Amino acid sequence: MTRSKAFIRPPRLSPGARVAIVAPSAPCLDLDDFTRADELCRALGWEPRPGRHLRDRSGYLAGTDADRLADLNDALRDDGIDGIWCIRGGYGMTRILDGLALDAVRRRPKPIIGYSDITALLNGVTGATGVVTFHGPTARAPMPPFSRRHFARVLTSPTAAGRLEPLALTDVLVPRQDRIVPLVPGRAEGPLFGGNLSLLQCLVGTPWLPSLDGAILFLEDVGEALYRVDRMLAHLRSAGTLARLAGVVVGRFTEMKREMSDGVFGFDEVLLHYFGPLGIPVVCGVPVGHIPDQWTLPLGVRARLDAGTGELELLEPAVQ
């Protein structure tokens, strides 16, 4: 898939915006998730519009493929909907990618928000249409002040968000694993792409993986053993996906098992094995991933990375 040269900014989510809450992947097992999504939407000043099949369940999916796709496409086609917020990730988005109503995305762009399994939706839509999508908190999760501040800066203001602040003002307050650490110093500029590593790997060889030439790639994952992360990066390298990156931003790889019976590598060692030879800036530990406090990153928006200082700056507005 060839990425569009000029990215299209969707309208910002202003007070009173009608936001569809959809579940294109896994089901919510706790009724509080639906209540929280409704309350969070209203707290942000938006009017929640739950999908018809939001509460459905079919095995480990939030309803049948046809029904999940219908909710998503209904929201894309409905001119009365201003934004689409996925209630959770899990698994299932890749089963319905081929049925996306991309014509509706092109006709009336609107913000699409989520992460984890939603990585497939975000990259597929932005790559195919050029419309900016948003890697950010899901609708069911509590949103602490840090996440809410970045969420609002990116989605509600038609100005460039600028430098994204770190998790805390002083390193004293931040555990080592939560600090931003430069792995390869340097500076780079390019459009942001990325998300969950497992999902990006499964898009290789499909029409849904955007071209990453000149991009700043951000990565995160959860519950993956380090050897599996190694294998996924090896796959991306062999497919040529990493060859022409401008820079790499590594988020949190939470719940990672590092040891095997045969020995252990450090996470930094594995990252440097694949990204070091590329001669591009690499930073690790940014607040992106399966964590409460996270940045909202717009796919397709041009950014500047200074890996030496661990700073990421959004150079363009993500909405209009």
**Nearest Cα residue to 134 out of 72, 80, 85, 196:** 85
Q: How far apart are CA 97 and CA 203, in angstroms?
A: 10
Domains along the chain? 18-155 (3.40.50.10740), 162-314 (3.50.30.60)
**pLDDT of res. 48:** 98
Which mean pLDDT values do the consecutive 10-residue runs of the chain (320 residues) have? Answer: 69 98 97 96 97 98 98 98 98 98 98 98 98 98 95 96 79 56 96 98 97 98 96 98 98 89 83 97 97 97 96 97
C-alpha distance from residue 98 to each of 47, 225, 257, 261 (Å)? 29, 30, 34, 41
**Nearest Cα residue to 292 out of 113, 146, 153:** 146
- Asked if 21 and 54 touch (Cβ cutoff 8 Å), the reply is yes
Active-site annotation holds for 313? no
Residue-wise pLDDT tens digits, 54-71: 999 999 999 999 999 999
Q: Which of 116, 147, 150, 224 is catalytic?
A: 116
pTM of the model: 0.95
**pLDDT of res. 63:** 98
Q: Which two tokens stand for residue 172?
A: 């004293």
Alpha helices in 89-243 (DSSP H): 102-107, 119-129, 145-155, 197-203, 226-238
**pLDDT of res. 174:** 46
Q: Which of 53, 135, 150, 290 is catalytic?
A: 290
Active-site annotation holds for 220? yes
Residues present in the chain in total: 320
Residue whose pair of structure tokens reads 């994952």 in the numeric block: 221
Q: Which of 53, 135, 220, 224 is catalytic?
A: 220
Q: How far apart are CA 148 and CA 142, in angstroms?
A: 10
Q: How far apart are CA 197 and CA 275, in angstroms?
A: 14
> Residue 192 is inside which H or E element, if any?
strand 187-196
Q: How far apart are CA 239 and CA 40, in angstroms?
A: 40
> Residue 112 is inside which H or E element, if any?
strand 112-114
> Residue 31 is inside which H or E element, if any?
helix 31-43
Q: Which residues pair with 292 in a beta bridge?
A: none
Q: Strands 18-22, 83-86: parallel, antiparallel or unpaired by DSSP?
A: parallel
**pLDDT of res. 237:** 98
Residue 2 burial (CB < 10 Å; 0-12/13-18/19+)?
A: exposed
> Residue 253 is inside which H or E element, if any?
strand 247-254
- Scored b (16 or more CB within 10 A) or e, 51-84 reads bebbbbeeeebbbeeebbbbbbbbbbebeebbbb
Cα pseudo-dihedral 215, 252, 282, 277, rounded to 10: -90
Q: How far apart are CA 97 and CA 101, in angstroms?
A: 9
Q: Rg for the chain (alpha carbons), in Å?
A: 18
Q: Which residues pair with 216 in a beta bridge?
A: 192, 247
**pLDDT of res. 123:** 98
- Asked if 116 and 94 touch (Cβ cutoff 8 Å), the reply is no
Contacts of 22 (CB under 8 A, 6+ apart): 51, 54, 68, 71, 72, 75, 84, 85, 86, 87
Active-site annotation holds for 198? no
